[in-house]
Amino acid sequence: MIALIAAVFLLSVSEVISQCSPSSGIYLRYDNGNCYPNGSFFSDNTIRDKPLECGLPGATLNGGQWIGPNGTVPCPGSKQNVQCTPGSSGTAILSVQINHPNFLASSAGDGWYKCCLPTDCSNANNTIFANIFNFAQIDSLTADLPSDMTVYPQEYKLNCTKIGHNRYDISMSIGNTALASYTNCHDPDDNCPGTDLTGIVENTVRYTVTITWDGMTVSSGSVSQSITGDQMYQCVVQVSNQRTRTRSLTVTVPASAPSSLTEVNKTATTITVNWNALDSSDADGYVVNVTSDTDTVQTVQVEGSSNNTITLNGLRAVTNYSITVRAYQQLLGPASSTISVFTTHCQQKGIYLGANGNCYPNGSYFWDNTVKAVTEAISCVLPGTSLTTGQWVRVADPDDDPIDCNNNSDNDPFRCTNVTSPDAILNLYLAQGLPAEQEGWYKCCLPTDCLTASNIMFANIFRFVQIASFYVDIPSSIVLPQEYTIHCIKTGYAYGYDFKLKLDDIQLINNAGCTSSSPCNNSYLLHKNNHTYDHTVNVTWDGMTVSSGSISQSITGDQMYQCRVADHPDANAIRIRNVTIKAPATAPSSLTEVSKTATTITVSWTALDSSDADGYVVNVTSDTDTVQTVQVEGSSNNTITLNGLRELTTYNITVRTYQQLLGPASSAISVLTPRCQVKGIYLAYIGYCYPNKSYFFDNNVNEVTKAISCVLPGTSLTTGQWVRVADPDDDPVDCNSNSASDPFRCTNVISPDAAINLYLVPNQGLADQEGWYKCCLPTDCSDPNTNIIFANIFRFSEIESFTAALPSDMTVYPQKYKLNCVKIGYQLYDGISMSIDNTVLVNYTNCDDRTNTCPGTVLVSSNPNTVRYTVDITWNGMNVSSGLISQSTTGDQMYQCVLDNPSAGADRTRILTVKVPVTAPSSLTEVSKTAITITVSWTALDSSDADGYVVNVTSDTDTVQTVQVEGSSNNTITLNGLNIETTYSITVRAYQQLLGPASSTISVQTLSTVINSINWILVSSITQLNNTQYRIDCLTTTDINPSTDVYWLVNGVMKSNSMYTSIDVLTYNNTLLVYPDPLGVSVNVTCIAMIGEVNYSQSVILHGMIIL
């Protein structure tokens, strides 16, 4: 007898429904709390005194029904102690519960319950299931299956989740083989190895078994079970003297392997295979496995049961691969029979070398120890050619020495094998040791011997060690210092060698006794078979000195490096290679300024001979900072124009010659760019030009080096003048004295350009004198012919600009645009706001540009703290809105930006007017229409009231088209591309910067056909019947092309339309001449016109008649 029944809260382990009750759909709800999805579990103890509610939002109960394992539960009423109660007031809710102290009356009441709403289950559209159980239950049995089918063997987990009573036995098995079995589990004691998942659900425990599947056997720990095809798992939970709970799970596995795995084709690096595809019920796809010498090379997944061909890429030439294929569903099935495929030789055009599955170019090196067997031979191959004679020859002086392939001796230690076709191949290998006299260069000639062969390849076969190559990664950078890497590649002897690298007489590397297990410093293994190592040295060149690590060497001109390799310790073979890096020894001479503008400088120099230079590099600096470095290719190109410079700036310029490296620099020249390239008077400040009415912060013009320059190019200064613009009279600036009322000083330039430079005396404040100043040149401002320009010099902060980024496309509605108010100057200000009329759109207070307390966008500018504030505006023709703010307005829109400076500074205000038509166009009228066009007109507005119009066409509330008509006088438009016999609503608006209000709407229906009429006329009537003719006239609209869209049927026989004329802009006359039937039979003539994919037709019958 079970003494204790633990409380089990709502199951299942799945998450509850997020919205409870949901807005629609049938649901389960427990204890007026959470909602649960279809198929949830509830213990009988859970619903004692706490009903389980089944509900359907928005429905009225009309019967409804709960049906359990033992039939219908009366509602109201009970069965097996399960009591049902309907919802109040007829709402579609049915609740079931078990009255305390009862439990389910018998095992017959344990199981699945179905709720049907709002009617009973014989006629219900809404059904949901709940499992009500006593003691324990299995919530789920799942498998966490592998997603990557290329990993083998496959590992996954079985998860069986137990809910309910806390004392039980549990087991998991495959077939009759138990994988895990735990008895007398007691959840509070945690005596069985499950994972406690209890959250809102008590006694929820997940038991896990880890499975390994190798394609034939399922194993878990020490348990193993051989199996073919689908894997059937079972989880069993047993509470003593209670119902046994069992849950089964099937993992689908292909029972058979794909058959007929076949090689389709191959190249040097690819193999294509295919196999017989399995039915989609037996496979979801395939996995192809490729091995070489037992090592897996690649495993590729092919999705889809019908995809039974794959090309395997990235393989090695001349290599044997073993390939199998498996089908997969949820797991992999058995492997197919293995096929063996040998990749072809290298994919080369022309003759090449191959060895150990690799391809080698002409001039490759081979250590004698690696070519000492027929399986290690050097293959000389000429693809697509049949071997006739062919030959390997030792290159010797004075005469080459042919190899005797059939015999070997100390003087000829080689043997050969050959392949006649489909590729001509001669394989060369050593049959004995290689004497010193026989090492060196060998050449292969194919397909004939070397006397007549045109295809020749060279290979170096050496003893001990060799230098395979010695080269330099030349730097691509044209900026000093230049960095490059020297590579000396050693190949061969692995049991000890010495390595040295030097520049002239300076030793850069000196390593002794390097081996494969203890390589030289800065060496990297390239090829294991030949013990090939790349030894690298990083070098820095600054134009005068070569340095590498702590070693430094001053040098002029070309740099000569030497690499030396010898076997250690005997030095049987000493190999030396040299490499030269070309560097100019001298600098270009006579660097000269040719011409200059405000933003360019042109220079030239004496060109060097092509043997001494490949080109030049010109370097431009200002105040020690590099401004630009420009490469000029070609030794004869000795002139360049340097662009993108600044006005009034001094630049230092040098030029260097380059070959592989840069040479020394020329003498530097100094060039000052002239003032701005502007016609007429202009402003300049610290090297930049400024237009009329520019703004300058007083803190930025308080030194003579920061003066505002007023310049008139090409004119000599006579008097000239800076004047403060004041009311009622302007106030001239006294350039020779300064005071609180006149804080400025001036300097001037008389020629070649008249200039007056205005600046504040250091530590002299600007108070009431802030505002607009004008400069007059070359005479003072009293001269009516003088040239005038304005500048605003301000304290604190100022509004530099207030603009609107207006829409350019007037057909998009509602219209959206941005207001931009740009603040400049001091970083602290009390606030900034933008408004329309009296409605504030944004208002930011206590702004500090240093910490971005107000949400503006910082802009790069010569003025400090330049910040743009933006407001997004939407205009619907009646209201301006921004965010939650909306303002009704008619006609022009008046905006204001206000900058609130601290109390010591004046506030700033800018006004912006956006032009909007006040009234709509009047008298919108239909002018004409066809089947697919409508022409309308309206009364034009004056050019001061409109820049153009926008016509909007809708049908059934959907916008069909919106057309912009530019020009206030253009008041007629033809709307094309409409549908036949369709009613359209049309309005027109005027626009200026924005759209104005809409006109009254007119409704127009397009015509129902493109054929207006068909008529016939007797053209001639004479006694000869065959000369009698009828003319048929078919009038169509000009919506169609009469040559392609009109044709005729005469008694069912099609005739083309070849005669047509234009009657007016809306009508074509299409004509057909018809002869009457000689027997007097009536003639039926049909005119057919096509528009779109629709045919329209009208017919006329010519009745039989006899002409007398």
- pLDDT tens profile 857-878: 999 887 889 999 999 999 999 9
Q: Residue 228 domain-assigned?
A: yes
Residue 294, Cβ neighbours under 10 Å: how many? 6
pTM, two decimals, is: 0.44
Q: Residue 899 domain-assigned?
A: yes
Q: Residue 439 domain-assigned?
A: yes
Is pLDDT above 50 for 207? yes
Q: Tokens representing 629?
A: 């470095």
Q: Residue 619 domain-assigned?
A: yes
CA quadruple 500, 502, 505, 507: dihedral, nearest 10:
-60
21-75 per-position pLDDT tens digit = 787 889 999 876 788 889 888 888 888 778 899 999 888 888 889 999 888 999 8
Owning domain of residue 284: 262-342
Cα 737 from Cα 734, distance rounded (Å): 6
| Pair 145, 234 in one domain | yes
Domain boundary among 1005, 1024, 1039: 1005
For 93-102, 289-298, 698-707, which range has the lowest pLDDT when averaged over its residues? 93-102
Say what the pLDDT of residue 11 is: 41
| Pair 1037, 1098 in one domain | yes
Cis bond leading into 398, ω under 30°?
yes
Domain boundary among 914, 948, 969: 914
Mean pLDDT of all residues in the chain?
88
Say what the pLDDT of residue 737 is: 79
Q: Residue 8 domain-assigned?
A: no
| Pair 757, 847 in one domain | no
Which residues make Cβ contacts (< 8 Å) with residue 134, sequence separation at least 6?
43, 44, 45, 103, 104, 107, 110, 242, 243
Domain boundary among 133, 160, 183: 133
Say what the pLDDT of residue 792 is: 95
CATH number at residue 714: 2.60.40.10
Is pLDDT above 60 for 1107? no
Say what the pLDDT of residue 674 is: 74
Q: In this structure, are residues 313 and 321 in contact, taking their beta carbons and an 8 Å threshold?
A: no
Sign of CA dihedral 940, 945, 947, 953: negative
245-258 per-position pLDDT tens digit = 999 999 999 999 99
Is pLDDT above 90 for 500? yes
| Pair 121, 169 in one domain | no
| Pair 478, 455 in one domain | no
Q: In this structure, are residues 101 and 204 in contact, taking their beta carbons and an 8 Å threshold?
A: no
> Is 436 strand, coil or helix?
helix
707-756 per-position pLDDT tens digit = 999 988 888 888 999 999 987 888 899 888 777 778 899 988 887 778 89
Q: Are strands 551-554 and 545-548 parallel, antiparallel or unpaired?
A: antiparallel
| Phi, psi torsion values for 189, nearest 5 degrees | -85, -15
Say what the pLDDT of residue 17 is: 64
Q: Residue 824 domain-assigned?
A: yes
| Residue burial 719-735, b: 16+ Cβ < 10 Å; e: rest | bbbbbbeeeeeeeebeb
642-655 per-position pLDDT tens digit = 998 887 788 999 99
600, amino acid identity: T
| Pair 306, 391 in one domain | no
978-993 per-position pLDDT tens digit = 988 899 999 999 999 9
DSSP states of 363-412: TEEEEGGGS-SGGGPEEEEETT---SS-EEEE--SSS-EE--TT--BTTB
| Pair 761, 813 in one domain | no
**For the chain, what's the residue count?**
1108
CA 125 remoteness from chain centre: 47
| Pair 1015, 1095 in one domain | yes
Q: Residue 867 domain-assigned?
A: yes
Q: Tokens representing 810?
A: 């007037």
| Pair 862, 839 in one domain | yes
Mean pLDDT confidence for 765-770: 81
Cα 4 from Cα 603, distance rounded (Å): 102
Number of separate domains in the chain? 10
Q: In this structure, are residues 537 and 548 in contact, taking their beta carbons and an 8 Å threshold?
A: yes
| Pair 43, 87 in one domain | yes
| Pair 762, 821 in one domain | no
Q: Residue 353 domain-assigned?
A: no
CATH number at residue 211: 2.60.40
| Pair 956, 1045 in one domain | no
Cα 474 from Cα 485, distance rounded (Å): 8
Cα 867 from Cα 848, distance rounded (Å): 11
Cα 315 from Cα 328, distance rounded (Å): 25
